[in-house]
Structure 1
Amino acid sequence: MRISGIVTLILILSVSIGVNGESGHRGFAKFGTVLNFNHPSVIALTEFQKGLGIEPDQMTIQIFANAQLGDEHDLLEGLQFGQIEMGIVPLPLLTSYSPLLGALAMPYLFKNDEHRFRVLDGPLGQQLLSTLEEANLVGLGFLQTGAQHIIASQEILGKPDDFQGLNIGIICPAYDKSCHTLPAQLSIRSFETLGAIVTLFESNKAAEQLERQTIQALECSAPTALELQIYHSNLRFMALSAHTTTPDVIVASKRWFDTLSPEVQDYLRKASRATITYQRHLWAIAEQEAFNALKSEGVQVETVERGTLRREVQPLYVSMEHTLGEKFTRIFESITAVH
């Protein structure tokens, strides 16, 4: 993904932070991500130093982007064993260790981005991040990855009848090629509940599959639709359903984090918050640019009525309550209580 007017990062971006200790002593910490250097999340890491609010002193954090430290599974394992100090991890991977995080991927759960951010940045978001500690991880905050919409060969108005027998494609990420993670399964089941027929696409083969297979709709974000050049297919109507989103998470190795002083831990939390704020701003720009580009290519972008669809997928909420118990019920009630 590219953002106009923003300079591409160099191969390794160094960020220094101050820690307690003897003058001249320097520590080294690796920050890994599979995202490329033009991605809003990687560009936003330039805010890490500013967010610390202190002069560079004794520790150097180096950002290794574009999967330099391995794929998502390698990164997660490295974080758990303390071989990698910090990183960006997709939420779906983390639900294997904390199923309650999957509640954030429930369809039609959030009213809009503002509602989502208030939840993620508030007490409930922090509570959910704390569940990662049992997996030797420290969650430092949620990055924006964009809402998933529906782009179809015919207009989607938001009525249940729109989905009856609709062949819709779902793109499985590289780290979950068969869409086995909880958020992916929730997406599949939500469309099946509405009467749709789901076809799974591999992320690295999605463009090729779109050329070979005739589908009637595809679940994707605006930047993904633009990257796939969806306007060359039969899919020309984009319904802004914003039915789900699965954020990325800034994560630290607990083994490493616990060796730091409380002061340095606070510095890192503050820097993470600054990075997240800037990243969301960059993502909003990228998303709007994608919408504008799609419209210029003839894609019709329309809002849809979400209320009816939210009621239609209610059985999925009941199923999750049975699976996760009262904790899920309390999470859902807490989210709906946030205004």
Structure 2
Amino acid sequence: MKGRKVKGLFTTMLLAAGILAACSQEEAAPATEAEGTTPAEEPKITLRLADNQPADYPTVIGDQKFAELVSERTDGRITIEVFPSGQLGDEKSVLEQIQLGAIDFARTNSSPLAEFHDELKVFSIPYLFNSDEHLWNFLNSETGTTLLDGLQEAKMQGLAYYDSGSRNFYSTKPLTTMEELKGQKIRVQQSEVNIQLMEALGASATPMPYGEVFSALQTGIIDGAENNLPSIDSSNHYQEAKYLIMDHHTRVPEVLLASKASWDKLSAEDQEIIRQAALDSVETQRQAWAEYEEKSLKTITEAGVTITEVEDITPWKEAVKPIVDNFTTEYPEIADAINSANP
């Protein structure tokens, strides 16, 4: 009898232990599920990039390559939407929105950026770079990178330079020599250096928005303007201005930049991906530029424009020497870097 009681008690104890073990396993189950849970995916980001040129223009082709590389390298997590043709505003408006963080990226000419970072006016100093190779040696130097970094104080983050060729004068009036430029009303981008350039060459500087140039040529408000071949082509300015003189007075690069407000929201890893994608898009943009420039020259020539290549640039350089001297005195280190970049 006593043996049966002990046996029964032992059985009861085993049952209790089994129940406790089962309960313990049930309580542990959530922990096991948590260990196997896949971490939440990082949120997708959509950013906007503004460009004032049409969709087939070389800078927009560069923009698109940049956006493509960012998407590839983030597995589609970051999307950059490109808005060409000034959809998000003209250059001045876009830069204001960039500073406010309302637009995330922009492709803009470096000339208006000198308003925010004075050293960038180097690209508007006439006849400072002797060739495209000379310019790109400088842009790819440490000094070239430093110039981009200088935009941070203006709430912008410079990422890369894009090709913009050389700028030349074109007019509705005969323009085959420096003498014929004198007295003509020439549209320029709004900058002190551009105005000084026109004064030094004896012309009258007329700053105005780029979009108003065609009608101003038609109505005679201006006689001419200055720009690179693709811009003269894409804007149809050659239809009104039948004289083009190739003096290559400036080589003013484009700049791909980010809003500092948008940039600072990105992780360090994403910043590096975007920065490298911008640099890697330059080759595509430069190739597109070379092809477009060749096409533009053909278009302008076939339209009957009289094209004059300046063979002796010396008189032009002598006329603007005070402008160059002022810059080299003010920024001797940049001047030295430019001289060192000359092949």
Question: TM-score category by the smaller chain?
Answer: 0.7 to 0.9
**Does residue 327 of structure 2 align to residue 335 of structure 1?**
no
- Letter matched to residue 252 of structure 2: T
Q: Name the counterpart of 1:190.
A: 197
Matched position secondary structure for 1:46: helix
The 1:280/1:167 distance shift into structure 2, 3 A limit, reads: same
**Does residue 45 of structure 2 align to residue 45 of structure 1?**
no
The 1:298/1:84 distance shift into structure 2, 3 A limit, reads: closer
Q: Name the counterpart of 1:35.
A: 53
Q: Is the 8 A contact 2:217 2:223 kept in 1?
A: no
Matched position secondary structure for 1:318: helix
Q: Is the 8 A contact 2:188 2:195 kept in 1?
A: no
- Letter matched to residue 211 of structure 2: N
- Letter matched to residue 95 of structure 1: A
Q: Distance in 1 between matches of 2:49 and 2:263?
A: 13
Q: Distance in 1 between matches of 2:117 and 2:185?
A: 29
The 1:168/1:224 distance shift into structure 2, 3 A limit, reads: farther
Matched position secondary structure for 2:157: strand
- Letter matched to residue 276 of structure 2: K
- Letter matched to residue 42 of structure 1: V
Q: Distance in 2 between matches of 1:33 and 1:286?
A: 17
Q: Name the counterpart of 1:267.
A: 273
> Which structure would you say has the larger Rg?
2
Q: Name the counterpart of 2:6.
A: none
Matched position secondary structure for 2:281: helix
Structure 2 matches for 1:316-335, cutoff 5 A? 316-320=323-327, 325=330, 328-335=331-338
Structure 2 matches for 1:290-309, cutoff 5 A? 290-304=296-310, 305-309=312-316
**Does residue 148 of structure 2 align to residue 129 of structure 1?**
yes
Q: Distance in 2 between matches of 1:170 and 1:143?
A: 23
The alpha carbon displacement at 1:140 in A equals 0.3
Q: Name the counterpart of 2:18.
A: none
Greater alpha carbon shift after TM alignment, 77-86 vs 127-136: 77-86
Q: Is the 8 A contact 1:88 1:249 kept in 2?
A: yes
- Which whole-Å deviations, capped at 9, do the CAs of 1:22-58 have from their partners, x for residues lacking one? 5353223222333332322222233225645736142
What residue ranges of structure 1 are gaps of 5+ in the alignment? 1-20, 173-178
Aligned partner of 2:176 among 153, 156, 159: 156
Q: Name the counterpart of 2:289.
A: 283
TM-score (norm 1): 0.78
Q: Is the 8 A contact 2:111 2:123 kept in 1?
A: no
The alpha carbon displacement at 1:315 in A equals 0.6
Q: Name the counterpart of 2:79.
A: 60
Q: Distance in 2 between matches of 1:23 and 1:131?
A: 35
Q: Name the counterpart of 1:203.
A: 210
- Letter matched to residue 187 of structure 2: I
Greater percentage in helix:
2
Q: Distance in 2 between matches of 1:198 and 1:49?
A: 37
Matched position secondary structure for 1:309: helix
Aligned partner of 1:213 among 203, 207, 220: 220
Matched position secondary structure for 2:55: coil
- Letter matched to residue 333 of structure 1: D
Greater alpha carbon shift after TM alignment, 113-122 vs 206-215: 206-215
Q: Distance in 1 between matches of 2:42 and 2:285?
A: 32
Q: Distance in 1 between matches of 2:236 and 2:79?
A: 40
Q: Is the 8 A contact 2:67 2:81 kept in 1?
A: no
The alpha carbon displacement at 1:162 in A equals 4.9
The 1:220/1:26 distance shift into structure 2, 3 A limit, reads: closer
Q: Name the counterpart of 1:176.
A: none
Greater alpha carbon shift after TM alignment, 92-101 vs 46-55: 46-55
The alpha carbon displacement at 1:318 in A equals 2.9
Q: Name the counterpart of 2:27.
A: none
**Does residue 71 of structure 2 align to residue 23 of structure 1?**
no
- Letter matched to residue 184 of structure 2: N
Greater alpha carbon shift after TM alignment, 257-266 vs 215-224: 215-224
Q: Is the 8 A contact 1:238 1:299 kept in 2?
A: yes
**Does residue 115 of structure 2 align to residue 96 of structure 1?**
yes
Matched position secondary structure for 1:45: helix
- Which whole-Å deviations, capped at 9, do the CAs of 1:226-264 have from their partners, x for residues lacking one? 34555554x544221110133321111223323433332
Q: Name the counterpart of 2:124.
A: 105
Q: Is the 8 A contact 2:164 2:289 kept in 1?
A: yes
- Letter matched to residue 29 of structure 1: L
The alpha carbon displacement at 1:127 in A equals 0.7
Q: Is the 8 A contact 2:188 2:207 kept in 1?
A: yes
TM-score (norm 2): 0.77
Q: Is the 8 A contact 2:217 2:224 kept in 1?
A: no
Q: Distance in 1 between matches of 2:106 and 2:47?
A: 10
The number of equivalent residue pairs is 301
Q: Distance in 2 between matches of 1:224 and 1:258?
A: 34
Q: Distance in 1 between matches of 2:278 and 2:328?
A: 32
Q: Name the counterpart of 1:226.
A: 233
- Letter matched to residue 319 of structure 1: N
Matched position secondary structure for 1:141: strand
Matched position secondary structure for 1:83: coil
Q: Distance in 2 between matches of 1:199 and 1:146?
A: 22
Q: Distance in 2 between matches of 1:44 and 1:298?
A: 31
RMSD between superposed Cα atoms in Å: 2.8
Q: Is the 8 A contact 1:169 1:201 kept in 2?
A: no
